[in-house]
Amino acid sequence: MGLVISFWILAAICILAALGVIFLRNVFRAALSLILCFLMVAGLYITLSADFLAAVQILVYVGAISVLIILAIMMTREVQRGSPSNRLQIPAFIVAILLLEVLVLTLLKTPWQIATTPPLAPTTTALATRLFGEGGFILPVEIAAVLILSAILGAIVLAREK
Amino acid sequence: MLGLEHYLILSAILFSIGLYGVLSKRNAIIILMCIELMLNAVNITLVAFSRYVVPALLTGQVFAIFVIVVAATEAAVGLAIILAIYRGLEDIDVTKINLLKW
């Protein structure tokens, strides 16, 4: 019962914060609203019993990506100008509503095969076994490391003063 | 009782909000923020499938970790590109960035 109540509270705040990212005039306030949305998503991971992912969400999104976004806002003087819409506002709205309708209708009509077994309680050990163990995801982990290295180098090269 | 559909509908709503922002905003930083929103919606879907369909395998959570990695690198490179464009053009309005347009 507590899980249901917390899900509805988290979902409501999450959607409101996401709407705030779109509709707030001030870019800095939109970034703060995005951070609130990230926090609520971390809470949703906890209701899905994904404790390690909730911690990763808070560390990476709330900690790192939001700092990057706020730093970019500070360095580009876009706060005064606000976040205006372009000419595609009404077509974009129609496309988004149509996509939402198609997605919701499809996922309500699909007979999902729900498993009856309870979820794993602490997921950290199981995730480490899946990532690094036999027959796991060790090659994607190495590729992700290379990807991060190249992204660091690319960001430094792009953002450096000439 | 919470079901898989609750989480899927929530993530569909978040994805649609992000899509609307990406298509209709001018500020490049707002567009990047909306892309992060869409990636978060996809992550919710992956974790919900992992919880309700294959609870013992955790495949969805592994995929969500990789999505988070790609999202972090994308944010870093994207914001560096925005700063480079701002240094050259003094503007990050995407309707005015048309250097590659013929």
ipTM for the predicted complex comes to: 0.91
What is the distance in angstroms between the Cα of B21 and the nearest Cα belonging to chain A?
6
Alpha-carbon gap, residue B10 to A16, rounded angstroms: 12
Q: CA neighbours within 13 Å on the CB side: how many for A94?
A: 3
> Taking CB atoms and an 8 Å cutoff, what residues of chain B touch A93?
20, 24
From A109, which residue of chain B is nearest by alpha-carbon distance? Answer: B5
pTM flag (> 0.90): yes
Task: Label residue A52 by pLDDT band (50, 70, 90).
Answer: very high
Residue B11 pLDDT: 95
Residue B42 pLDDT: 95
As a dihedral over the C-alpha atoms of residue A154, residue A155, residue A159, residue A160, rounded to 10 degrees, the angle is: -60
Residue A136 pLDDT: 81
Residue A78 pLDDT: 64
Kindly report the CA angle at A28 between A56 and B73, in degrees rounded to 5?
Answer: 40
Does A117 or A28 have the greater pLDDT score?
A28
Looking at the predicted structure, is the pLDDT value of residue A80 above 70? Answer: no
Q: Does B97 touch chain A (CB under 8 A)?
A: no
Task: Check CB contact under 8 Å for A92 and B24.
Answer: yes
Kindly report the CA angle at B58 between B52 and B59, in degrees rounded to 5?
Answer: 100
> Taking CB atoms and an 8 Å cutoff, what residues of chain B touch A123?
58, 61
Looking at the predicted structure, is the pLDDT value of residue A83 above 80? Answer: no
Kindly report the CA angle at A113 between B16 and B46, in degrees rounded to 5?
Answer: 40
Q: Does B26 touch chain A (CB under 8 A)?
A: yes
Q: Which of A115-124, A131-140, A150-159, B75-84 has the lowest mean pLDDT?
A: A115-124
Q: How large is the average pLDDT for residues A14-31?
A: 92
Task: Check CB contact under 8 Å for A147 and B70.
Answer: yes
Residue B17 pLDDT: 95
Alpha-carbon gap, residue B6 to A11, rounded angstroms: 9
Nearest to B55 among A89, A115, A147 (CB): A115
To test the contact with chain B by mutation, choose from A6, A26, A41 the residue with the greatest count of B C-beta atoms within 10 A, namely A41
Q: CA neighbours within 13 Å on the CB side: how many for B64?
A: 31
Looking at the predicted structure, is the pLDDT value of residue A102 above 90? Answer: yes
Question: Among the residues of A77-161, which ranges form H helices?
Answer: 89-109, 124-132, 138-159
Alpha-carbon Rg for chain B, nearest whole angstrom, is 17
Residue A79 pLDDT: 62
Positions in chain B short of pLDDT 50: none
Spatial neighbors of A96 by CB under 8 A, at least 6 apart, are: B16, B17, B19, B20, B23
From B65, which residue of chain A is nearest by alpha-carbon distance? Answer: A53
Average pLDDT score over chain A: 90
Sign, CA dihedral B30-B33-B38-B41, equals negative
Task: Label residue A11 by pLDDT band (50, 70, 90).
Answer: very high
> Taking CB atoms and an 8 Å cutoff, what residues of chain A touch B1?
4
Residue A113 pLDDT: 86
Task: Label residue A15 by pLDDT band (50, 70, 90).
Answer: very high
Residue A146 pLDDT: 96
Does A76 or A99 have the greater pLDDT score?
A99
What share of chain A in percent tops pLDDT 70? 96
From B31, which residue of chain A is nearest by alpha-carbon distance? Answer: A22
Sign, CA dihedral A55-A58-A64-A65, equals positive
